[in-house]
Amino acid sequence: MKKIGLFTLLALAVGLMAGCVKETTVTVNPAMVVGKWYDEAQPKVFWRFDSDSTGATWDESEDVREEEGTKFNWSTQGDQLRIDLYGEMGQHVYYDWTVTRQTADSLKFKDIYDNPCVFVRI
């Protein structure tokens, strides 16, 4: 009887500890961010990340072409990808995205509200 109680207690302890294991985080590889991407949920919204940490975004559904797109700077730190957009009148808007998965062909991340997004490489 003691063995059954001890086994149950041990199984419960292991189960509780497993629930406390922290999720593994992704370390963003900046070299894999460089390139042209489209937003999976909005296939006419494009993002171009250049190797000099600049880029542009544009929406072809609004008849905006790549050369007319909004310019931005980008940086990475750990699992974070930061986008700093600058409007025509000098306004500054930034996005902090938490990358949850990065492959050669896709970039999955969450915004500050935990909304998921997927970029697909062109």
User: Residue 87 maps to which CATH number?
Assistant: 2.40.128.280
Structural domain that includes position 46: 26-121
Residues comprising the chain, all counted: 122
How many Å apart are CA 66 and CA 96, to the nearest integer?
23
Number of domains observed in the structure of the chain: 1
The string of pLDDT tens digits covering residues 20-78 is: 545 568 999 999 999 999 999 999 999 999 999 999 999 999 999 999 999 999 999 99
Count how many Cα atoms sit within 13 Å of the Cα of residue 9 in the half-sphere of its side chain.
Answer: 6
Residue 36 is assigned to a structural domain of this protein: yes
Max Cα–Cα distance, the chain, nearest Å: 77
pTM across the whole model: 0.78
How many Å apart are CA 36 and CA 16, to the nearest integer?
44
